[in-house]
Amino acid sequence: MIDIKSSKQLEIYEFIKNQVNAKGYPPSVREICEAVNLSSTSTVHGHLTRLEKKGLIRRDPTKPRAIELLQENHNKKEMVDIPIIGKVTAGIPILAQESIEDYLTIPLDFVNSTNELFILKVQGDSMIEAGIHDNDLAIIEKTSVAANGDIIVALIENEATIKRFFKENG
């Protein structure tokens, strides 16, 4: 069983970093919404607030597009490379195939541990209520235990799917 960490903040941070590197200025909140498939600007503001609290960005509320990447802080942070190893469904299970497609480098602050981490791209929308959307990148930690209510990646007869775990009586 595998525990999932949300990747939306990481996706937003990477988009801001890429836009600043490509254009020389940060994206607007609306552009961030479109890039990470969120419809609500208030949701993006919430993620930006959490990135700010982690010391990765600084914002000036009096100016539009005033998102500053804190490079000094970013450069001092310990980074970790996590392999992207395939896809998992949020719906009907698909054949599980593990092969490293790419790596994503993220600040160590984004994860609780580095024990057997990997990333799966989510296909499907059955976990939207849990904030897991189609095409999200899910950071997965391999573990042998899960508590009631945990979101896990279950491997059933070589097919993988994301579900909320509940122990059955008996």
Catalytic residue among 7, 8, 87, 163: 163
CA 84, chain centre distance (Å):
12
At how many degrees (to 10) do helices 41-53 and 8-23 cross?
90
What CA–CA distance (Å, rounded) separates 43 from 93?
29
**Residue 123: beta bridge partners?**
89
How far from 122 is each of 8, 83, 112, CA to CA, in Å? Answer: 12, 15, 21
Catalytic residue among 6, 28, 77, 126: 126
What CA–CA distance (Å, rounded) separates 131 from 29?
19
126 catalytic per annotation: yes
Residue numbers annotated as active site: 126, 163
